[in-house]
Amino acid sequence: MMIVFYIAAVIAVAATVMTITLTHAVHALLYLIVSLLAVAVIFYTLGAPFAAALEAITYAGAIMVLFVFVVMMLNLGEAAVEQERRWLDRRMWGGPALLAAALLAELVYTFAFGIGPGGPSGGGVSPHAVGAALFGPYLLAVEIAGFLLLAGLVGAYHLGRRRTDAEE
């Protein structure tokens, strides 16, 4: 299990370094997604399968899709088609694809041999325990998180609308 952890840690650090050094936002986002997936694998090795699933679905899925949408919206223009063609270059997606393939190999290895504290054999903290804690002693915090999400929704709607000339 330790070798899985170390490989995922190296992938996470390498992908994060690429994220903060690349100049093109979409390329950096690809590496950031790989970094988040590597952290999800690390959560799994730490015996937190529920957090690993949330990391992959919410962070690497939903939040990064928001980023990609906004970066695409900032790039609207007549040069967008040419830019699209350049993004499909192998040099652009080769690095992230290689790192993601390494993570997939780790996942297959872990499942094939049934190892790990978060595996089906038990160990770690189960989603049941997390849910019981979330809606037990932390119920008030869950309500406050709901308020926060509502505020974020209203704020994003207010800020994101296109202002018309009459308002200027």
Phi-psi region at 91: left, alpha or beta (left = phi > 0; alpha = psi -120 to 50) = alpha
Identify whether the C-beta of residue 96 lies closer than 8 Å to the C-beta of residue 31.
Answer: yes
How far apart (Å, rounded) are the C-alpha atoms in residues 106 and 157? 40
Residues 88 to 117 in contact with other proteins, rule: CB under 8 A: 117
Instruction: Write the burial class of residue 153 (CB in 10 Å: 0-12 exposed, 13-18 middle, 19+ buried).
Output: exposed
Stretches 57-65, 78-86, 87-95, 97-105: which one binds other proteins (CB under 8 A)? Answer: 57-65
Residue with smaller CB distance to other proteins, 74 or 90: 74
Positions that interact with other proteins (CB under 8 A):
1-2, 5-6, 9, 12-13, 16-17, 19-20, 25, 28-29, 32, 35-36, 39, 42-43, 45-48, 50-51, 54-55, 58-59, 62-63, 66-67, 70-71, 73-74, 117, 123-125, 129-130, 132-134, 138, 141, 145, 148-149, 151-153, 155-160, 162-163
